[in-house]
Amino acid sequence: MKLLMLFALLFSASSVFGQDDSGKIYINVGEAKVKKSLIAFVPIHYLGDSGHAGKFKQNGAELYNTILNNLEVSNLFTLIKPDAYLEDTTNLGLTTVDFEKWNKIGTDFLLRTGFRVNDSKLEFEAYLYHTPQNKLVMGKKYISEIKELRQTAHTFSDDLVKALTGKQGIFRTKFVVASDKGGNGWKEIYVMDWDGRNATAVTKHRSISISPAWSPNGKTVSYTSFAYHPKLKSRNPDLFTYDIFDGKRYLLSSRRGLNSGSNFAPDGRWIFLTITNGRDPDIYKITFEGDDLTRITNGPRGTLNVEPNVSPDGKKVAFSSDRAGNPMIFIMDIDGSNVKRLTFAGKYNSSPSWSPDGKKIAFAGRLKGHFDIFVIDVENPASIQRITEATKYNGRPANNEDPSFSPDGRHIVYTSDRTGKNQIYIISSDGTNERRISVDNSNYYKPRWSPYLN
């Protein structure tokens, strides 16, 4: 089955049957520090025949827990504990609210939800209230296939964030990542939901596939794989693209030597990558069709120029280079001119990733023998913040590497070896609300957060 099924929303268009359409922004995520709102998310109700409630208890729990996790990860809310409720929520309908009781405990938002199952169909209803104003912010009904239950929960969570902030939520986004989870020492490329669920392999090269990247429209991923060349009777790190929707794979660059570290320009037409081809690693650009190869950097001789990352406006490229001694982060114009050094501290800085607004760059920096994730202000490089710090079970510092911003700029995904395996974590861009995403015995490398996939 093609990966298309991961992206297809199999529910009907949600119908709005009560909503605050004033355009009011209840939570301003543009502020430097977002004040968390108190939200009560009461237990989910089964709306069908009460005699069947037990049969679908597990479905209700999965709906509730998925939404609850999304609310917590958003870093917008503090959940009110059920033992603080003054209103009995067990037998009330979704539209029956005693606002006075909720306001007494300081509630900002009240969320009531319910569901029923008919054959293979899930019907999910949700009502979000702004209790200080005694008003309904959003009321929606979603109809989907029961197998798309988690997708429905993510869609509702996105709608909730949009209703309160005016900004798109991240809960239908995905990660693309290299992993050895297939076994046999191979690394393949996987796509998974942002919360680590529904991991699906998009490569089966039975080799080493690394350094994936998303196209701007989220329909294509690029990656490097050590592909076998029959004529040469050897393997070479070639650059491929894979179309998520039609399942087709294309060989983009197979020049002898390294073809890796790809990154799409915002227009989707150009792909930037590192190529050696018998010389020092330099950054090149190539069209989406594999034509018009153009070299962007040219040494200096004996240096590395790697890991290009194009700015959101398409005017700049951040990259890692050891031209000044230790590998550091540099920025240049899109044509390779006007090269400027951005970082000066640490022994080794790598893996730059632009924030969606182009104001900041996240990177991995090595200090005292281990890597951590740092965020630096492009216009004010002196403003730099370390946002990760962790130790292994033996008490030694862990490595935190390979950062990538979420499309809303409020979160960063990265890998950490603190458990003994390279696992996926996310953290808010201010260094708070860190969460582990993958929980297994596999290793993951270079996770990249998708664009919005609506």
Give me the domain span that covers residue 373. Answer: 174-449
- Of 109, 134, 165, which residue constitutes the final position of a domain? 165
In a domain, 137, yes or no: yes
- Region 203-222: mean pLDDT is 96
Q: What is the pLDDT of residue 231?
A: 78
Q: Are both 334 and 406 inside the same structural domain? A: yes
In a domain, 99, yes or no: yes
Q: Are both 183 and 124 inside the same structural domain? A: no
In a domain, 454, yes or no: no
pTM: 0.93
- Of 144, 165, 186, which residue constitutes the final position of a domain? 165
In a domain, 414, yes or no: yes
Q: Are both 223 and 76 inside the same structural domain? A: no
Contacts of 132 (CB under 8 A, 6+ apart): 103, 108
pLDDT in tens, 19-68: 455 678 999 987 667 889 999 999 999 998 887 788 899 999 999 999 99
Residue 219 has pLDDT above 50, yes or no: yes
Q: Are both 238 and 348 inside the same structural domain? A: yes
In this structure, are residues 424 and 435 in contact, taking their beta carbons and an 8 Å threshold? no
Residue 3 has pLDDT above 60, yes or no: no
Q: Are both 206 and 257 inside the same structural domain? A: yes
In a domain, 81, yes or no: yes
Query: Which is nearest to 371 in space by CA: 357, 356, 392?
Result: 392
- Of 124, 141, 165, which residue constitutes the final position of a domain? 165
- Region 77-101: mean pLDDT is 92
Q: Are both 103 and 205 inside the same structural domain? A: no
Residue type, 275: I
Query: Which is nearest to 249 in space by CA: 284, 286, 229, 222?
Result: 222
Structure tokens at 365: 């920096």
Q: Are both 123 and 205 inside the same structural domain? A: no
Neighbours of 267 (CB within 10 A): 10
Q: What is the pLDDT of residue 446?
A: 98
In a domain, 278, yes or no: yes
Residue 10 has pLDDT above 50, yes or no: no
Q: Are both 421 and 280 inside the same structural domain? A: yes
Q: Are both 296 and 352 inside the same structural domain? A: yes
Q: Are both 341 and 443 inside the same structural domain? A: yes
In a domain, 140, yes or no: yes
Q: Are both 373 and 399 inside the same structural domain? A: yes
Q: What is the pLDDT of residue 22?
A: 61
pLDDT in tens, 309-339: 999 999 999 999 999 999 999 999 999 999 9
The alpha carbon of 292 is separated from its chain's Cα centroid by a whole number of angstroms, namely: 31
- Region 230-237: mean pLDDT is 86
CATH number at residue 207: 2.120.10.30
Q: What is the pLDDT of residue 32?
A: 61
Compute the mean pLDDT over every residue in the chain, rounded to the nearest whole number. 92
Domain total in the chain: 2
CATH number at residue 41: 3.40.50.10070
In this structure, are residues 175 and 191 in contact, taking their beta carbons and an 8 Å threshold? yes
- Share of residues in the chain with pLDDT > 70 (%): 94
Q: Are both 106 and 182 inside the same structural domain? A: no
In a domain, 41, yes or no: yes
Q: Sorting pLDDT into bands at 50, 70 and 90, what band is 230?
A: confident
In this structure, are residues 332 and 297 in contact, taking their beta carbons and an 8 Å threshold? yes
Q: Is 23 left (phi over 0), alpha (psi -120 to 50) or beta?
A: left
Q: Sorting pLDDT into bands at 50, 70 and 90, what band is 13?
A: very low
What does the alpha-carbon distance between residue 424 and residue 73 come to, in Å, rounded to a whole number?
Answer: 15
The DSSP element (H or E) to which 364 belongs, if any, is: strand 360-367
